[in-house]
Amino acid sequence: MRESTVIRQTRETKISITLRLDAPDTASVIETNLPLFTHFLTALTFYSGLYWDIHALGDVEVDPHHLVEDVGIAMGQALDQALGDRTGILRFGQQYLPMDEALVLCVLDFSGRGQLYWQGSFPDRAINGVSSEIWPEFFNGLARHARMTLHLRYLEGINAHHVYEAAFKALGRALSQAVTTVDNRMPSTKGSL
């Protein structure tokens, strides 16, 4: 079974995540105490086609950064655990994603080396009082702990909400591709990831 459960509890956050990579047509459950983040995570999980059960509380009255980064870390850990040694997966995923005037590119590789490459003039305006500087922290935490190379590139867009939502949706679609089982081989010419 390609699934995992991660519990992360700190003085700032309390997070529980269950992930099932092979659960078609099962609706995810997303609950956080930051509505905009819940909205973005709902988009990501829907377009991933994976089953996510995410319950997360954070000290958002201090700074939403703690919650957003820690959920990224925990989601990355859940992906890493559910993928096991990664035998048989497609490994790579890519998606151009438009949302009205916004256009974002997401390309990822479950390489075993976790790194975020954040490129382009992503909007630096707050959305509903939430600073835009926290969104790269989510993607960075996810990439590092999933041990995946993650490229997110801003191509077009004026509306900050559209741009960031497109990034979450694009990540969902790219994840869907990359975790797909295609054979029983290790997806590396080195024989190991």
* pLDDT value at residue 186: 74
Which range (2-11, 133-142, 177-186) has the least confidence?
A: 177-186
pLDDT tier for residue 20 given thresholds of 50, 70 and 90? very high
Report pTM: 0.96
Say if CB 39 and CB 48 are below 8 A apart.
no
Q: Please report, for the chain, the start and end positions of each structural domain, with discontinuous segments joined by +.
A: 3-178
Amino acid at 146: A
Class of CATH domain 3-178: alpha beta
Angle at CA of residue 109, ends 57 and 71, nearest 5°: 5
37 pLDDT above the threshold of 90: yes
* pLDDT value at residue 188: 78
* pLDDT value at residue 185: 87
Name which of 100, 114, 113 is nearest 169 in CA terms: 100
Which range (14-18, 22-26, 58-62, 65-69) has the least confidence?
A: 22-26
Distance CA 83, CA 50 (A): 12
pLDDT tier for residue 36 given thresholds of 50, 70 and 90? very high
Please list, in sequence order, all residues whose beta carbon lies within 8 angstroms of the beta carbon of residue 155, skipping any fewer than 6 positions away: 96, 103, 104, 105, 120
Tell me the per-residue pLDDT of 60-73, one tens digit each, with 9 for 90 and over. Answer: 999 999 999 999 99
Mean pLDDT of the region 158-177: 98
For the chain, strand residue ranges (E) read 3-9, 13-20, 29-32, 51-58, 92-99, 102-109, 115-119, 149-156
Distance CA 123, CA 135 (A): 11
25 pLDDT above the threshold of 90: no
Percentage of the chain lying above the pLDDT 90 cut: 92
Tell me the per-residue pLDDT of 84-131, one tens digit each, with 9 for 90 and over. Answer: 999 999 999 999 999 999 999 999 999 999 999 999 999 999 999 999
Mean pLDDT of the region 44-58: 97
Mean pLDDT of the region 3-16: 98
